Amino acid sequence: MSVCDEACRGCAYQGTAGSTMCCDHLLITGHARGCPAGAGCTRRTKGKRRMSIEALIARARDLPKPKPKPLPPAEPKRKAPEGKVSRAAMTEEEWREHRREIDRAYYARNAERLRAEHRERRKNMTPEQKKQRSEAHQRWVENNRDKVNAYLREHRRKKKEAGQ
């Protein structure tokens, strides 16, 4: 429905939506008007409306739905410029591994600074914060008992091998 002006008065396609005049050409004919509503309309037809509002609503429900546009074909994986990594050229797992490598390199470069910051934070904790941290750690250990035991076994094995 398009909003009409005074030039539409008396047109067979003129309707109302509340107190606003509008053009019901699409609802009545089933196809678009092809011109602007109002003074420049080339579809203006003098006369009375031949369809009731109820019939228009029923027809509007039965109008064919526009067909969705087909999806574009999948783009081939792009190659990244030399020395750069393209997210689009990787699978999800490759990207995650790439991010892990970046994180490992960052922590390796900044290990001493990060450890010092961690020690400083722990040194400045209140007794209540230390208690909360200890309780949270115990909950984590209980929930991850298998992981903790596997880690401890591996740690002890490496320590034993290093001692021999």
Identify the domain containing residue 98 by its residue range: 87-129+136-163
Q: Do 100 and 154 fall into the same domain?
A: yes
Q: Is residue 100 part of a domain?
A: yes
CA-closest candidate to residue 27, choices 39, 14, 11, 18: 14
Secondary structure of residue 129 in the 3-state scheme = helix
Number of domains in the chain: 2
Domain boundary among 62, 77, 101: 62
What CA–CA distance (Å, rounded) separates 136 from 1? 62
- Contact call for residues 43 and 34 (beta carbons, < 8 A): yes
Q: Is residue 70 part of a domain?
A: no
Q: Do 96 and 39 fall into the same domain?
A: no
pLDDT in tens, the chain (164 residues): 567 778 888 887 777 777 777 787 777 777 777 888 778 888 887 877 666 666 766 776 776 766 777 766 666 556 666 666 666 667 788 888 888 999 999 999 999 999 999 899 889 999 999 999 999 999 988 888 888 899 899 989 998 898 86
pTM, whole model, 2 decimals?
0.34
